[in-house]
Amino acid sequence: MVDILHRIGAEHTTPEQAYESLATLEGLSGWWTENTTGTTDVGGRIAFKFENGEFEMEVLELEPGERVLWEVVGGDVPEWIGTKIHWDLRREGDYTVVLFKHEGWREPIEFMHHCSTKWGSFLMSLKQQLETGTGAPWPRDVHTDNWG
């Protein structure tokens, strides 16, 4: 099993605001995909749609200002099904630190390389949303390669 890891730090915000960006449809729509629907409570399911794919997450854990955990339970990307996405938040000086882990890939296939760079780019979109109020969610996302 292999994991994708990332870390961003955002200024001019708080772990509570970062939590809102991860635990509400409005927040998620502002940095990952504008097409975010579903229920964000524990046990709820959130659907994230992009031009060529969709992910459905079940919300496993929520600790306001501290932690969000999802499991990928549906969608049309078989490599993601059963993987988990961890978000850990904390204050460090003037920064809100977001630790990210996309855990449980079966193999380090080329698509995992793509997803790692794309996650990094979307985390920079989250940082931008937290610092300026405006992120770059799909369809306004930064292109990292030829796989969209």
Q: In the Cβ-directed half-sphere of 70, how many Cα atoms lie within 13 Å? A: 24
What's the start-to-end Cα distance of the chain, in Å? Answer: 25
Q: Cβ contacts of residue 139 below 8 Å, gap of 6+? A: 34, 51
Candidates 21-29, 42-50, 69-77, 138-146; binding stretch for its own copies (CB under 8 A): 138-146
Residue in the block written with tokens 């292109």:
143
Instruction: Pull the structure tokens for residue 97.
Output: 């630190």
Among 38, 77, 99, 104, binds its own copies (CB under 8 A): 99
Report, in Å, the least distance between residue 76 CB and its own copies.
20
Contact between 128 and its own copies by CB under 8 A: the answer reads no
Contact between 52 and its own copies by CB under 8 A: the answer reads no
- Judged by DSSP in three states, 53 sits in strand
Among 47, 73, 81, 97, binds its own copies (CB under 8 A): 97
**Which segments of the chain does DSSP mark as H helices, in order?**
15-23, 25-29, 110-132
Contact between 5 and its own copies by CB under 8 A: the answer reads yes
Choice between 25 and 109, CB closer to its own copies? 109
Positions touching its own copies (CB under 8 A) are 2-9, 92-95, 97, 99-101, 108, 110, 112-114, 116-117, 120-121, 123-124, 127, 142, 144-147
